Amino acid sequence: AQSVTQPDIHITVSEGASLELRCNYSYGATPYLFWYVQSPGQGLQLLLKYFSGDTLVQGIKGFEAEFKRSQSSFNLRKPSVHWSDAAEYFCAVGGGGTDKLIFGTGTRLQVFP
């Protein structure tokens, strides 16, 4: 069955620290992978996406993610977190000629000054 697992419900980091949010997926075909961010009271905004090619993809706001097929993972990273990065982050998987994305349960990021 197709699924996305975000094992960390809540992460707290200090401003300026590095960040890694975990995402593992289960998908029968070649996956298309996405990270979205949701600020409080807002809809979701695309951070980055992976379809093929270079397994390290760059996104907006200084985020990057690395696709590791052998580990079925697509972890999101940022070298130095800013207070404005506090939000909820969702990993999603799709593909196979459909736009029906399957979302993980999200990771809430809290940033301390």
What residues make contact with another protein under the rule CB under 8 A?
A: 6, 32, 34, 36, 41-46, 49, 51, 90, 94-101, 103-106
Nearer to another protein, 32 or 63 (CB): 32
C-beta of 34: minimal distance to another protein in Å?
Answer: 8
- Local structure of 43: helix, strand or coil: coil
Nearer to another protein, 18 or 58 (CB): 58
Give the residue carrying structure tokens 């960390």: 8
C-beta of 14: minimal distance to another protein in Å?
Answer: 26
Nearer to another protein, 44 or 81 (CB): 44
CA distances to 17, 30, 72 from 25, rounded to whole Å, are: 26, 11, 6
- Answer whether 80's CB lies under 8 Å from 110's CB: no
C-beta of 32: minimal distance to another protein in Å?
Answer: 6
Nearest CA-CA partner of 6 in 14, 20, 15, 18: 20
C-beta of 103: minimal distance to another protein in Å?
Answer: 4
CA gap 53, 51 in Å, rounded: 7
